[in-house]
Amino acid sequence: MSEATTASEKTLMVLEAAMTHGRFSEIVTAVNLPKATVHRILTTLVERDFIQVADGGAHVPGPKILSLAGVAYDRVDISTIVQPYIDDLVRRVQCTVHVGVRSGDEIIYLVRTDSDKPYRMPSRVGAAIPLHTSAIGKAILARLDDDAIERFVNRAGLPRRTARSLTTLDELRAELADIREDGYAFDREENVPGVVCIGTAVRDHTGHSNYGLSISSLALEHTEGQLAAMAGDLRKAAADITHALGGDR
């Protein structure tokens, strides 16, 4: 541990370690500080209700930290958080980029940022799209197990949006297997004729993949192979957004 580490830094280190390590010995190991220092900081955090000591001696989040977490979550504006990463992705790929969130059996667009191209995608913020016809939706579905996929199909069905929409459980399962292997999904004119997308899922602070990110273009301008060449940029942006939302890259 650097001698230059300030008291404030030490307090934050101990607080963070206490959120993920219950035992005193584990916290000491995680922060690599003297036991006396860790004990003093933990005592203050307990007195201020940031930490509680549960039965058996484990340290757990206290009422103050839970209250602050709730306030912080209520104030989260996803659009504001993700916009810098979206702007950077648009500059790199020169296509329209969307961020969507799962709402039941649909994807709702939260963000749409266009490139300098002379055309605009036929999409809008607030639009609802079936999970199985969108790149974002399929990328999120690919994170579910087979039983959850079957329940989704039984509940929502697989309505056809275009001639290329997936309409059977077997088709969907085969596609999701490819998505799990590749790490990204395609929309091959499955939602709007002439529009193609590549998308991937984004995890939030809970570790769940309820958000997603996609790059959209016209089928006349980008082939599937050309979209696939953008996968690296797409996944980097998704990892950055995941981190910004409190998830693990």
One domain for residues 17 and 91: no
What pLDDT score does 76 carry?
59
Spell out, as residue ranges, where the chain has pLDDT lower than 50: 1
What pLDDT score does 52 carry?
87
Name the amino acid, one letter, at 1. Answer: M
CATH at residue 232: 3.30.450.40
One domain for residues 82 and 69: no
Domain boundary among 43, 73, 103: 73
What is Dmax (Cα atoms) for the chain? 69
One domain for residues 156 and 204: yes
Range of the domain at 189: 78-244
Q: CA dist 48 to 44, 52, 64, Å?
A: 6, 9, 8
One domain for residues 61 and 87: no
Domain boundary among 41, 73, 105: 73
> Which residue, 129, 137, 122, 123, is CA-closest to 108?
129
> Which residue, 102, 127, 126, 110, is CA-closest to 208?
102
One domain for residues 20 and 130: no
What pLDDT score does 74 carry?
57
The pTM of this model reads: 0.74
**Does residue 2 form part of some domain?**
no
One domain for residues 42 and 89: no
One domain for residues 149 and 191: yes
Residues 131-150 pLDDT 10s: 999 999 999 999 999 999 99
What pLDDT score does 4 carry?
57
One domain for residues 40 and 157: no
Do 26 and 20 form a contact (C-beta atoms < 8 A)?
A: no
Do 238 and 202 form a contact (C-beta atoms < 8 A)?
A: yes
Pairwise CA distance, residues 241 & 204, whole Å:
9
CATH at residue 37: 1.10.10.10
Total domains in the chain come to 2
**Does residue 249 form part of some domain?**
no
